[in-house]
Amino acid sequence: MKSFAKRSVLLPFAALAATLLGSPHANAEGLFDMLFGGGVRRGSPSVRDGEYGEPYRRPTQRRGEFPPPPNARKAAAIAKITGPTYNTYKADPLVKVDFSSLSAAPQNAAFEPAQAGDAFHEALVGLTNYDLRAEAANAKALTAFYAANPDFIWVTNGEPNERAKQAMRVLGDAATYGLASQDYLVDVPASASTDPATRAEEMIRFEMALSARVLRYVDDAQDGRIDPNRISGYYDFPAKPVDREGALKTLARTQEVGTYLESRHPQNAEYQALRVELEALKASEENEVVVDSKLKLKPGEISPELPKLLSLIARDLDDDMGGDYGEVLARLVTSQDYVPELVPVIKAAQKKAGQKDDGVIGPRTVAALAGASKADRIAKVQYALEELRWHPSELGDPRVFINQPAFSASYIEGGQEKLKTRTVVGKVANQTSFFYDEIEQVDYNPYWGVPQSILVNEMLPRLRRDPGYLDRAGYEVSDSRGKRIPSSSVDWGAYGSKIPFNVRQQPSEANSLGELKILFPNKHAIYMHDTPQKAFFQRDNRALSHGCVRLQDPRGMAAAVLGTSVDYVAGKLAKGHSSEKVSRKIPVYVAYFTAWPDLSGKVEFFDDVYGRDDRLRQALEAVAAVRGPVS
Confidence at 73, pLDDT banded by 50, 70, 90: low
Q: CA 480, 486, 491, 494 torsion: positive or negative?
A: positive
Domain map (residue ranges) of the chain: 4-36, 98-230+243-280, 291-370, 394-618
Residue 106 and residue 504 in contact, taking contact as beta carbons nearer than 8 Å:
no
Residues comprising the chain, all counted: 631
Question: What is the mean predicted confidence (pLDDT) over 349-371?
Answer: 86
Question: What is the mean predicted confidence (pLDDT) over 196-223?
Answer: 96
Question: What is the mean predicted confidence (pLDDT) over 613-620?
Answer: 98
| 590 conformational bin, left if phi > 0, alpha if psi -120 to 50, beta if neither | beta
What pLDDT, on a 0 to 100 scale, did the predictor assign at position 68? Answer: 52
Check pLDDT > 60 for residue 43. no
Confidence at 98, pLDDT banded by 50, 70, 90: very high
What pLDDT, on a 0 to 100 scale, did the predictor assign at position 287? Answer: 67
Residue that wins the pLDDT comparison between 559 and 314: 559
Question: What is the mean predicted confidence (pLDDT) over 166-174?
Answer: 97
The lowest-confidence range among 159-163, 427-431, 510-514, 560-564 is: 510-514
Residue 408 and residue 390 in contact, taking contact as beta carbons nearer than 8 Å:
no
What CATH number labels 291-370? Answer: 1.10.101.10
365-387 CB burial, b ≥16 within 10 A, e <16 = bbbbbbbbeeebbbbbbbbbbbb
What pLDDT, on a 0 to 100 scale, did the predictor assign at position 431? Answer: 96
* φ, ψ dihedrals at 468, nearest 5°: -90, 5
What pLDDT, on a 0 to 100 scale, did the predictor assign at position 71? Answer: 52
pLDDT tens-place string over residues 5-39: 333 333 333 333 333 333 333 333 333 233 233 33
Check pLDDT > 80 for residue 344. yes
The lowest-confidence range among 71-80, 137-146, 238-247 is: 71-80
pLDDT tens-place string over residues 131-157: 999 999 999 999 999 999 999 999 999
Pairing of strands 587-591, 399-403: parallel
| Structure letter (DSSP) for residue 232 | B
Question: Omega of the bond prior to 12 within 30 degrees of 0, cis?
Answer: no
Confidence at 486, pLDDT banded by 50, 70, 90: very high
237-257 CB burial, b ≥16 within 10 A, e <16 = beeeebebbebbbebbeeeeb
Check pLDDT > 60 for residue 259. yes
What pLDDT, on a 0 to 100 scale, did the predictor assign at position 3? Answer: 39
The lowest-confidence range among 269-278, 350-359, 381-390, 414-423 is: 350-359
Query: Mean pLDDT of all residues in the chain?
Result: 85
What pLDDT, on a 0 to 100 scale, did the predictor assign at position 289? Answer: 79
Confidence at 69, pLDDT banded by 50, 70, 90: low
Question: What is the mean predicted confidence (pLDDT) over 550-562?
Answer: 98
Check pLDDT > 90 for residue 44. no
The lowest-confidence range among 5-14, 216-225, 294-303, 370-379 is: 5-14
* φ, ψ dihedrals at 222, nearest 5°: -85, -35
Please choose, from the candidates 621, 232, 554, the residue with its C-alpha nearest in 3D space to the C-alpha of residue 419.
Answer: 554
Check pLDDT > 80 for residue 329. yes
| Structure letter (DSSP) for residue 189 | P
CA distance 495 to 76: 6
The lowest-confidence range among 55-69, 165-179, 536-550 is: 55-69
What is the CATH T-level fold of the domain 394-618, as seen in this structure? L,D-transpeptidase catalytic domain-like (2.40.440)
What pLDDT, on a 0 to 100 scale, did the predictor assign at position 2? Answer: 39
The fraction of the chain above a pLDDT of 70, given in percent, is: 84
Residue 346 and residue 361 in contact, taking contact as beta carbons nearer than 8 Å:
yes
pTM for the full model?
0.78
Check pLDDT > 90 for residue 353. no
Check pLDDT > 70 for residue 242. yes
Amino acid in position 599 = L
Please choose, from the candidates 353, 517, 361, the residue with its C-alpha nearest in 3D space to the C-alpha of residue 439.
Answer: 517
